[in-house]
Structure 1
Amino acid sequence: MKLLENNCPICGKIVNNYGLCSDCFDLINKDPVFYYNIDGLEDLIVSSTYSGIMRKLIIDFKFNGKLAYGEIISEIMIEKLLEKNLSSEVLTYVPMYKYKERERGYNQSKILAEDVAKKLDLKCEDVFEKAIDTKFQVGLKKHEREENLKDSFKVIKIPEEIIIVDDVITTGTTIRELTKIAKDSGVKKVTALIAATEIA
């Protein structure tokens, strides 16, 4: 899943290894300020702010089919995850409704989870399923997001400890809903690993 050229995808500078040049990498805010109150969530690990270069990478990866950008995003996530003492957790991801995933051709959160798991020698498993199609969350207010996602996910596997991977967190509604159903189903420890937060 690599680009053919050895150029930084942002500024075009030649790079020795695939990915961002050091100048563009340094422009990403990797110490975001955020606050989410999510009952039952052991830890929320957020890798960056959803702005500037990171926003461009995520949008191109998520909507424009530039799947190679997932490797750059996952490297930034791994850097943050390595600060934590994690070893027995199973990585999983926010699922998409099957029709919408077929329409897009991929689930960006699944790609990120699989890439992080592979590079850190962790398991990646399907823990959740999107059982009901819902509206896109973009543009919905917090209470509308909560109503939109209520009862739309189900648990299909119950590991003891999981890390839920997603690309962007805005109000925390999705992670809140997944954490709730995971804990209700018997998952003992839930952590979330997010590429970027919209709250800076």
Structure 2
Amino acid sequence: MRVLGVQAVVGVARCVGCGRREGVLCGSCSDEMRSADPREAPRPLDRLLCALDYSGAARSLVLDLKLRGRSGAAPPLVDRMADELARSGSRARVVTWVPGRRRETRRRGFDHAAVLAHGVARRTGLPARPLLDRVGGVFDQTSLSAADRWLNLEAAFTAGRCREPVLVVDDLVTTGATLRSCARALAEAGSLGVEALVACSAQAR
């Protein structure tokens, strides 16, 4: 009995798209992930770059990373994000991320957006710095309408001083309210331009 061979098979992760034991994302499901349509950047954000449409295997990767705490779901997303950034001609000189809520970060064991940001930083050679902090009193966005999300996040973030063009990384954009609030905080802190890069783009309800 080839016990070692059985253990090797059992230890291989299942693809989030089809369930085959070919790693977290098999080649076929990777090829089927759809690129996101271009999105207009909400001011004062200078540009909004979206790698993937929030559907299929891409959606499963985001949920595995964000809700299930599986950091192994990050690399396929980082690959697509880095490719999107390379095509864009970005002016950014430092990478930061939308900070997660403390309770969710503790439950998960890591900040999912930070994992993506550090992955993008490694791929591009840019430094990654924690420039943004959340302000208390902000409601969870999940159950809010598009209009209420804008109001909820009017002043949801503060930023450390930075005199360079900044790239803000996050997993998902819907209305763009979170990224707009981050861009506003960074602009007030002296940033010389703010772009955003997200793994997935979803339509607001």
TM-score by length of 2: 0.85
Query: What SS is found at the alignment partner of 1:39?
Result: coil
Identity of counterpart residues, as a percentage?
A: 27
Do 2:160 and 2:189's aligned partners in 1 also have CA atoms closer than 8 Å? no
Match of 2:174 in 1: 170
- Asked whether 1:59 is paired with 2:63, we answer yes
- Partner residue of 1:10 out of 6, 17, 29: 17
- Supply the distance in 1 between the matched residues of 2:107 and 2:45 (Cα, whole angstroms): 31
Q: Paired residue for 2:75, among 63, 71, 74? A: 71
Partner SS state of residue 178, structure 1: helix
Distance 1:12 1:143, change over 3 A: closer
Q: Which structure dedicates a bigger proportion of its chain to helix?
A: 2
1:158 paired residue number: 162
The CA deviation string for residues 32-56 of structure 1, in whole angstroms up to 9 with x for no partner, is 2254341122221100111111111
Superposed CA RMSD: 2.1
Q: How far 1:78 moved relative to its partner?
A: 1.1
> 1:125 Cα deviation (Å)?
0.2
Per the alignment, residue 34 of structure 2 pairs with 29
Instruction: Judge conservation of contact 2:39–2:49 (CA < 8 Å) in 1.
Output: no
Once the two structures are overlaid, the 10-residue window that deviates more, 64-73 or 5-14, is 5-14
Q: Are 2:25 and 1:20 aligned?
A: yes
The runs of 5 or more residues in structure 2 that have no matched partner are: 1-10
Q: Is the 8 A contact 1:33 1:199 kept in 2?
A: no
Structure 1 or 2, whichever has the larger Rg, is 2
SS at match of 1:48: strand
Structure 1: unaligned runs, 5 residues or longer: none
For residues 91-116 of structure 1, the C-alpha deviation after alignment (integer angstroms, 9 at most, x for no partner) is 10001233442233221111100111
Pairing 1:34-113 to 2, within 5 Å after superposition: 34-86=38-90, 89-113=93-117
In structure 2, the residue matched to 1:115 is: 119
Q: Number of paired residues?
A: 194
Secondary structure of 1:181 counterpart: helix
Q: Which amino acid aligns with 1:28?
A: M
**Does the CA contact (< 8 Å) of 1:87 and 1:122 recur in 2?**
no
TM-score (norm 1): 0.87
The answer on whether the counterparts of 1:164 and 1:191 sit within 8 Å (CA) in structure 2 is yes
**In structure 1, how many angstroms separate the alpha carbons of the residues matched to 2:80 and 2:12?**
21
The 10-residue stretch of structure 1 (84-93 or 121-130) with the greater mean CA deviation from structure 2 = 84-93
Residues 152-194 of structure 1: CA deviation (Å, up to 9, x unaligned): 2111231411100001100000011111121122111111001
